[in-house]
Structure 1
Amino acid sequence: MSKIRITKQFTFETGHALYGYDGKCRNVHGHSYKLNVTVIGTPISDTDNVKYGMVIDFSDLKKIVNREIVNVFDHATVFNKNTPHVELAKELSDRGHSVLLVDYQPTSEMMVIDFASKIKALLPENIQLHSLRLSETATSYAEWFASDNS
């Protein structure tokens, strides 16, 4: 049976700041992110299986990505936990804001690496993560491919 790639797109709003950066993005700002998640596998060939013909049910993929990424990052502000932004993060958190402290600079490049790790860990054995594309604007995105990271 042929290997097939399927893709589901997700959207979420996230704020961040890049500490130490030499441009405008050192300031707290936000993006309307679009995350394309592409997995690869063989369609289910068991005609008695309710998911016959599917690589993975889109709703199953949606549950994984929503739980690990969208529900966590949507309307949150992300800061590197090793920067002075932790003081601002504490202030925001104390005021009831959703704040994430991560162990990396919250660029699209580093976020997509983090997302790949989280998604790969929860996919069924017969399904592999093929690629991710994280767009932070209509013209700017970061991509992760399994073939580049094996």
Structure 2
Amino acid sequence: MVYLTRVEHFNAAHKLYNPAWSLEKNEEVFGKCANENWHGHNYELYITVKGTPNPDTGFVFDVKRLSDIIREHVIEKVDHRNLNVDVEFMKGQMCSTENLAIAIWKELTVHLPSAVQLHCVKLYETPRIYVEYFGG
């Protein structure tokens, strides 16, 4: 099994806020991330697929095609957007990095050919904070 990773970048704003809680409780739990005027991140997205190299090309998957799939089904929908308001696949969810990684997984799995399998969505919110999602 060979693992292939493509890295993409996007910028997006969001707010962590539970409408069932008071303003005080939201500020206590989420701190500055509950700012009513939103805040933004420069996200780094690592998409890893796995498979067996094709004997004719030596590729697990054409990395240009992988980039095109990621860009069309994720980056174009989230880049320079408000995750809470503008992104259809995040509607009705808390816009945490954890939930965003799961939603990205769901967006991509249906668009990958059966020759490869999505292995991991790794999403950096900051250089020191990231999540990894392996499906399930």
TM-score range, shorter chain: 0.7 to 0.9
Which of 70, 95, 100 is the matching residue for 2:87?
Answer: 100
Which of 64, 71, 76 is the matching residue for 1:66?
Answer: 71
Query: What's the TM-score, normalizing by structure 1?
Result: 0.78
Instruction: Could you list the structure 1 runs, at least 4 aligned residues long, displaced by more than 4 angstroms after superposition.
Output: none
Larger Rg: 1
- Structure with larger RCO (C-alpha < 8 A, sep 6+): 2
Q: Which amino acid aligns with 1:63?
A: D
> For residue 13 of structure 2, what is the aligned residue in structure 1?
15
1:1-150 to structure 2, matched below 5 A, reads 3-20=1-18, 21=26, 22=29, 23-27=31-35, 28-46=38-56, 52-79=57-84, 89=85, 99-100=86-87, 102-146=91-135, 149=136
- Where does the alignment leave 5 or more consecutive residues of structure 2 unmatched? 19-25
Deviation at 1:66, TM superposition (A): 0.3
- Where does the alignment leave 5 or more consecutive residues of structure 1 unmatched? 47-51, 80-88, 90-98
Between the aligned residues of both structures, percent identity stands at 33
Q: Which amino acid aligns with 1:24?
A: K
RMSD between superposed Cα atoms in Å: 1.2
Distance across 2 between alignment mates of 1:17 and 1:70 = 19
> For residue 94 of structure 1, what is the aligned residue in structure 2?
none
Query: What's the TM-score, normalizing by structure 2?
Result: 0.85
* Number of matched pairs: 122
Q: What's the secondary structure of 1:32's corresponding residue?
A: strand
Q: What's the secondary structure of 1:136's corresponding residue?
A: strand
Deviation at 1:103, TM superposition (A): 2.1
Measured against aligned partners, the alpha-carbon deviations of 1:41-87 in whole angstroms (never above 9, x if no partner) come to: 111113xxxxx1001111110011001111110000121xxxxxxxx
Q: What's the secondary structure of 1:113's corresponding residue?
A: helix
User: Which moves more between the two structures, 99-108 or 131-140?
Assistant: 99-108
Q: Which amino acid aligns with 2:68?
A: K
